[in-house]
Amino acid sequence: MDINDDETIDSEVCGFLLHCEAKTIEELARQGVLPGFKLGKSWTFFRDQVIAAARELAEETAKRRRGESSRLRSSGYVVAPPKSKRKAPPVLPSLPGDVT
């Protein structure tokens, strides 16, 4: 067993590791999505368990997305690309002396 297997981290480090805010990490821990425990006022996580949970969540999400996209392809539906939300640029008045 490596010494880093039992490395504990707090919400800030966990957020840095998963590229999100510490508040998000704490909310995910409250919901049971991330394995962690609360000692006093602060959350504590095992680094390897957080990475394993994030990997599992990513795999489940990818499977769900692949299932939805293959179901749409097999059903004969054509999925149109999303419409642009950009506004058309305004038409400017011509200046005196412009040749158009």
- Domains of the chain from N-terminus onward: 3-73 (1.10.10)
Helical packing angle, 47-74 and 11-18, nearest 10°: 40
* Alpha carbons within 13 A on the beta-carbon side of 33: 11
Pairwise CA distance, residues 40 & 55, whole Å = 28
pTM of the model: 0.59
Q: What is the pLDDT along the chain (100 residues), one digit of tens a residue?
A: 455 557 999 999 999 999 999 999 999 999 999 999 998 999 999 999 999 999 999 999 998 888 866 555 555 555 666 677 788 888 888 888 776 5
Pairwise CA distance, residues 45 & 32, whole Å = 12
Angle in degrees, CA 4, 50, 42, rounded to 5: 90
